A and B are shown apart, each in its own frame.
Chain A
Amino acid sequence: MKIPNALKNCFFIIFILFLMAGCATTQQQLLDSEQSQLRLRSIQTRAFDTTDKEKTLRTVITTLQDLGFVIDKADATLGMVTATKLDRYALRMTVTVRPRGETQLLIRANAQYETTPVDDPETYQHFFSALQKAMFLAAHEVD
């Protein structure tokens, strides 16, 4: 039987798509190596002019609740909070708070949406603008 041309084209296109899809192995995702570490840090981190770690953590928790998250874990000593938002999708977020110098705290947030890391600056910007409203303090970008 002669294979029609259209069918041949079709197979060819699917083959190309397979090639495109197959360029990332699933193991590579363990360390998300394709991401630039520095870029990620700068979009996920802000500095605040306060040294009260406990109060800051409490404000982080309040903000997460305002945004519809339910807290999974919190640790005052390590300065971290993990929370999950379920709204048809699942969004998981960890926020850490640590001192920066004598006068500031660094807050870093990282989020995962379903099974992908969130790496667009705008989403984090929304989080930090919500947070700075609750903190009554400005969030400073860090290099």
Chain B
Amino acid sequence: MPHVSERRRTFFLNLRCLFLFVLSLAFVACHPRIPPEALRLDSESLKQRQIQTRVFQTDDEAKVLTACAALLQDTGFNIDESETKLGVIVGSKDRSAVSAGQVVGSIFVTLLTGAPVPWDKNQKMRACVITRPIGEEKKSIAVRVTFQRIVWNTEGKVTKREGLTDPKIYQEFFEKLSKSLFLEAHEAL
């Protein structure tokens, strides 16, 4: 009998050893590989382009850019970067990312397990608006806007990094842009 238990102990020790080995291999091989499709165009890219782009019938790119900047301000963004020559405006804002449902869930799990479960606390949202004269005679301006966000939890760890792809966001943005352009044109407040 003692012989059998000795063998079992060695077996489990070996198993633990193997586990440690695999774990340390994972550390050594820490070079994360870039996903092969990261820079590849696909059908989704085209779909996103259509959702994120509108064309305005004007040849005044500066006016459209100004309207976009005003709209970013309207929606609470601060302008981080701009380059008029290339039709670029980049803005960002920091907001709360706390959602009641997640907090309740976290507290529930914490009560059950005793281990504190963090929830999402802050988020940084970024927007970039690009204008581009299109057509043979450059009589219209294409405006493309893209959004992304980073979310941090109560422990300060990043929990989400994503581009925002919900078509509704873009629809609302362009509705507001049309209004903003109208306001710009009439020099109203």
Contacts and interface: CB of A to CB of B under 8 A. Distances in A.
Binding between chains A and B: yes
A89 B35 contact: yes
Contact of B81 (A73, A87, A88, A111): A73
B17 A9 contact: yes
A66 B46 CA distance: 7
A58 B28 contact: no
Interface stretch (B67-75, B103-111, B112-120, B142-150): B142-150
B189 interface: no
Nearest to B14: A6
Contacts of B45: 66-68
Given A57-B86, A58-B132, A76-B85, A70 B39 contact: no
Given A20-B28, A85-B163, A116-B31, A10 B17 contact: yes
Interface stretch (A33-41, A43-51, A98-106, A119-127): A119-127
A5 to B, nearest CB: 8
The listed residue with most A CB atoms (<10 A of its CB), out of B16, B48, B144, B146, is B146
Interface stretch (B19-27, B93-101, B176-184): B19-27
B81 A74 contact: yes
A89 B38 CA distance: 10
Interface magnitude class on chain A: 35 or more
Given A13-B21, A21-B28, A71 B90 contact: yes
A17 interface: yes
A66 to B, nearest CB: 5
A70 B146 contact: yes
Contacts of B46: 66
B164 to A, nearest CB: 10
A91 B38 contact: yes
B181 to A, nearest CB: 21
B21 A76 contact: no
The listed residue with most B CB atoms (<10 A of its CB), out of A65, A75, A91, A113, is A65
Nearest to B165: A68
B13 A130 contact: no
B139 interface: no
A61 B128 CA distance: 11
A70 B83 contact: no
Nearest to A82: B81
B138 to A, nearest CB: 11
B132 A62 contact: yes
6 contacts: A61-B86, A61-B87, A73-B81, A84-B148, A114-B32, A122-B36
Given A87-B162, A113-B38, 13 more contacts: A10-B13, A14-B20, A17-B25, A67-B38, A67-B40, A68-B163, A70-B90, A71-B130, A87-B38, A113-B32, A116-B31, A126-B39, A130-B41
Q: Which 5 pairs, one residue from A and one from B, show the smallest C-beta to C-beta distance?
A: A10-B17, A76-B85, A86-B161, A126-B39, A113-B34
